[in-house]
Chain A
Amino acid sequence: MRIHRLIATAAVTALMLATAACGGDSLESSGADTGSGDTGGGDKGTVVVGGQDFTESQVLAAIYQKVLENEGFTVQTKLVTTRDVYLPELSSGGVDIVPDYLAGITDYLNTEKNGPDAPLVSSNDVDKTLEALKPLAEAKGISILPPSDATDQNAFFVTQDFADQNSLTTLSDLAALGDPIKLGAPPDCEGRADCEGGLTKVYGLKITEIVPLDFASAQVKDAVKKGDVTMGETGTTDGTLAADGLVLLEDDKGIQPAQNLTPAVNADFLKANPDLEDIFNQLSAALTTDDLAQMNLKVDAERQKPEDVAQQFLQDKGLL
Chain B
Amino acid sequence: MSAQAAEVAKCYLDNSWICGRYWSDYRPELTDATVQHLWITVVSVLVGLVAAVPLALLARRNPTVESLVVGGTTIIYTIPSLALFSLLLPFTGLSPTTVIIGLALYSLTILVRNVLAGLRAVPDEVVEAARGMGYSRVRLLTRVELPLALPIIMAGLRVAAVSTVALATIGAIVSYGGLGNLLLQAVGNQFKAQIFAASLLCILLAIALDLVLVGAQRLLTPWTRHAR
Where the two chains meet, the residues of A that have a C-beta atom closer than 8 Å to any C-beta of B are 1, 4-5, 7-9, 11-12, 15-16, 19-20, 22-24, 26-27, 30, 32-33, 35, 37, 48, 50, 53-55, 58, 78-82, 85-86, 88-89, 92, 94-95, 299-303, 305
Contacts and interface: CB of A to CB of B under 8 A. Distances in A.
A2 to B, nearest CB: 10
A8 B219 contact: yes
A80 B173 contact: yes
Contacts of A79: 175, 181, 185
A187 B220 CA distance: 60
B216 A53 contact: no
Given A19-B42, A22-B39, A8 B12 contact: no
B35 A26 contact: yes
A102 B190 CA distance: 27
Contacts of A12: 212, 216, 220
A239 B206 CA distance: 39
Contacts of B203: none
A5 B191 CA distance: 46
B207 to A, nearest CB: 16
Interface in B78-129: 86, 89-90, 93-94, 96
A11 B25 CA distance: 34
A12 B220 CA distance: 10
B36 interface: yes
B227 interface: no
A53 B184 contact: yes
Of the listed residues A24, A79, A80, A301, the one surrounded by the most CB atoms of chain B closer than 10 A to its CB is A80
Contacts of A22: 35, 39
Interface size classification for chain B: 35 or more
Interface string B1-44: 00001001100110000000010011011001001101110110
A53 B216 CA distance: 39
B166 to A, nearest CB: 18
A23 B5 contact: no
A312 to B, nearest CB: 9
B93 A54 contact: no
A223 to B, nearest CB: 18
Contacts of A32: 36, 175-176, 181
Contacts of B35: 22-23, 26
Contacts of B189: 54-55, 299-300
Interface in B195-228: 212, 216, 219-220, 222
Given A8-B216, A20-B42, A23-B38, A303 B22 contact: yes
Nearest to B22: A303
B57 interface: no
Contacts of B212: 12, 15
Nearest to B37: A23
A81 B219 CA distance: 43
B8 A35 contact: no
B181 A303 contact: no
Contacts of A26: 32, 35-36, 39
Contact of B12 (A33, A54, A86, A302): A302
B188 interface: yes
Nearest to B182: A33
Given A86-B94, A303-B22, 6 more contacts: A5-B220, A20-B42, A53-B172, A53-B181, A82-B173, A303-B12
B219 A7 contact: yes
B13 A302 contact: yes
Nearest to B213: A12
